[in-house]
Amino acid sequence: MGRIGRSARGSRIGVLVLASALSAGLPGESSPVELAVGARSPIEVRLDAALKAEALASAEIAALVVGETGETLYARDPDGLRIPASNLKLLTALAALDAFGPTHRFITVIATDRSPDEAGAVGELGIRGGGDPGLNSEDWWRLAADLRRRGLAKVDGDLIVDGSYFDAEYWHPEWGEISSRAFHAPVAGLSANYGAFFVRAGPGARAGDPLRVQIDPPLAYFKAENRGETVGPEAKGSLSVARGQASGLAETVVVSGRLRVGAEPKDYARSVRAPALYAGALFKFQLEAMGIEVTGRVRRGSAKQPVELLRHAGRPLSELVRLFLKYSNNAMAEGLVKAIGAQATGEPGNWPSGLAEVRRRLDALEVLGPGARLVDGSGLAPGSRISPRMLVDALQQGASSFRFGPEYVAALPIGGRDGTLEKRTGVPEDRVRAKTGLLGAQRVMALSGFAERANGETVIFSILVNGYRGGVDEAMRAVDDWVAGLVETP
pLDDT at 7 over 80: no
CA 180 to chain centre: 17
Residues 117 and 240 in one domain: yes
pLDDT at 386 over 60: yes
Q: What is residue 36's predicted lDDT score, i.e. its pLDDT? A: 52
Residues 339 and 414 in one domain: yes
Residue 10 included in any domain: no
Q: What is residue 27's predicted lDDT score, i.e. its pLDDT? A: 39
pLDDT at 32 over 80: no
Average pLDDT over residues 411-415: 97
* Residue 226, strand partner residues: 255
Residues 253 and 393 in one domain: no
Out of 7, 41, 89, 191, the active site residue is 89
Residues 301 and 405 in one domain: no
Residue range of the domain that includes 231 = 105-315
pLDDT at 14 over 50: no
Helix, strand and coil percent figures for the chain, each rounded to 5: 30, 25, 45
Average pLDDT over residues 237-241: 91
Residues 344 and 476 in one domain: yes
Give pLDDT tens digits for 139-185.
999 999 999 999 999 999 999 999 999 999 999 999 999 999 999 99
Residues 206 and 291 in one domain: yes
First to last CA, the chain: 24
Out of 180, 191, 328, 401, the active site residue is 328
Residue 257 included in any domain: yes
486 contacts 78 by C-beta, under 8 angstroms:
no
Instruction: Provide the sign of the torsion angle of the four alpha carbons 342, 347, 352, 353, taken in this order.
Output: negative
pLDDT at 358 over 50: yes
Looking at 285, 315, 345, which one is the last position of a domain? 315
Tally of residues, the chain? 490
CA 459 to CA 2: how far, in whole Å?
A: 10
Residues 413 and 468 in one domain: yes
Count of C-beta atoms within a 10 Å radius of residue 311: 12
Out of 7, 41, 86, 387, the active site residue is 86
Of 436, 426, 440, 437, the C-alpha closest to 471 is 440
Residues 370 and 441 in one domain: yes
Residues 190 and 144 in one domain: yes
> Strand, helix or coil at 479?
helix
Q: Count up the domains in the chain and report the number.
A: 2
Residue type, 369: G
Give pLDDT tens digits for 317-340.
999 999 999 999 999 999 999 999
Q: Examine the residue annotation and report whether 89 is marked as an active-site residue of this protein.
A: yes
Average pLDDT over residues 267-271: 97
Q: Examine the residue annotation and report whether 353 is marked as an active-site residue of this protein.
A: no
**pTM for the whole structure:** 0.90
257 contacts 202 by C-beta, under 8 angstroms:
no
Furthest-apart CA atoms within the chain: distance in Å: 88
CA 1 to CA 353: how far, in whole Å?
A: 35
> Strand, helix or coil at 388?
helix
Give the phi and the psi of residue 122 in degrees, each rounded to 5.
-125, 175
Residues 183 and 232 in one domain: yes
- Is 452 exposed, middle or buried, given 0-12, 13-18 or 19+ CB atoms closer than 10 A? middle
User: Residues 6 or more apart from 33 whose CB is under 8 A from it?
Assistant: none
